[in-house]
């Protein structure tokens, strides 16, 4: 899993751990079995790589509120 996560360093990803825990953020690093993510608020989240079940890269498509004409 660590080798897979290393290719996402510097990118925004969604990480799922188990059935209810989902995290989104920019990958800072992956070392020692720990994935470090920075979320949109600047908080750093540390996740055990062996607990990760799903990883996918996020698209940064911006949504605009309101009507599209």
pTM for this prediction: 0.80
User: What is the β-pairing status of strands 34-38 and 21-31?
Assistant: antiparallel
Closest C-alpha among 37, 42, 69, 43 to residue 55? 37
Name beta bridge partners: 25.
Answer: 13
CB neighbour list of residue 36: distance below 8 Å, 6 or more residues apart: 27, 28, 29, 30, 44, 45, 46, 47
Q: Which domains does the chain have, with CATH numbers?
A: 2-57 (2.30.30.100)
For the chain, 69 residues long, give each residue's pLDDT as a single digit of tens. 889 999 999 999 999 998 788 999 999 999 999 999 999 899 999 999 999 999 999 876 656 566 655
Sheet holding 12-17, edge to edge: 44-48, 34-38, 21-31, 12-17, 54-57
């Amino acid at each position: 899993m660590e080798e897979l996560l290393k290719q996402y360093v510097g990118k925004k990803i969604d990480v799922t751990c188990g059935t209810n825990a989902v995290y989104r953020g920019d990958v800072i690093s992956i070392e020692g079995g720990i994935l470090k993510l920075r979320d949109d608020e600047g908080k750093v989240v540390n996740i055990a790589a062996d607990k990760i079940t799903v990883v996918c890269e996020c698209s940064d498509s911006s949504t605009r509120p309101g009507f599209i004409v």
